[in-house]
Structure 1
Amino acid sequence: MASQPTRSPSTAKRYLVVFIIGLMVGVVAAVMLLRALQARQDPFPGAVMQVMAHQTQALKATAAANRCSAHDSVPRLQSLRAVANDLEAAFPGLGDDSRFAGAASSLRANLDQALAAPPANCAEVTATLEKIGNDCRACHQDFR
């Protein structure tokens, strides 16, 4: 009996395998590059803004739920005030700008005022939130 000749894989299959391997190597290299770039970025500014946004949203939620006693609002205001202390440190390139310093100072002053005389009802909580929102908007309009 004559032996049948063995068939070698077609050229198209070889190209497909090489293409898939190249694609996988490219994906791995892209992920490694993106991770390296991400590691070089400072997460502090984003974290400060996230914490402030969370505390403000939580304060809005307590006002919406009609839970506006000092017991409910003071912890959120204290957290906002503590984070507001780090605004200049979070954005070192803006620390010398008078607009940024003014907005940060105004935010701290409004929070100090709110902590000195905590809001006792929902109208006062809403007014405090409006002041905080105005201070945040003043900065975000100039620097976002």
Structure 2
Amino acid sequence: MLVVCLGNICRSPLGEGALRAALAVAGLASQVRVDSAGTGSWHAGQAPDARAQACALRHGVDIGAQRARQLSAQDFFDFDWLLCADADNLAAARALAPPGLESRAVLWLEWAGQGQGAQLPDPYYGSDADFGQVWSLVSAAARVTCQRVAR
């Protein structure tokens, strides 16, 4: 499972953290590889946004060791699912996909049953409450993802 957003410093690190935590609770952590990436390279090598780290810590999850990286075509071979935050990320991911692997990239919230076209809002220019909203959404999506993995 690869969680994908724009810069890999807000939404996808929170998603990676929530997914790792949910998989651990479900006893599936050793069975699923989890990572995150961004469609852009602006923040490559950087830690998650301090507000994202603080938000995750409030929920008992430490994402501080994560480092941003850019999505690559190789990710389509390395991961069964690329869980995209929004429609722009989905389009960018699919544009990188090797022929025949485009369907591995999905809108995560939609794939997790949260509604047709459901997307993660980008909290970068927002408040702590916006990061909290993203955490709530990725936590719910992570639980559904665990249920799908367990089947």
Report if TM-score (shorter chain) is over 0.5. Answer: no
Higher RCO (Cα < 8 Å, 6 or more apart): 2
Scaled by the length of structure 1, what TM-score is found?
0.32
Where is the strand percentage greater, Structure 1 or Structure 2?
Answer: 2
Calculate the TM-score normalised by the size of structure 2.
0.31
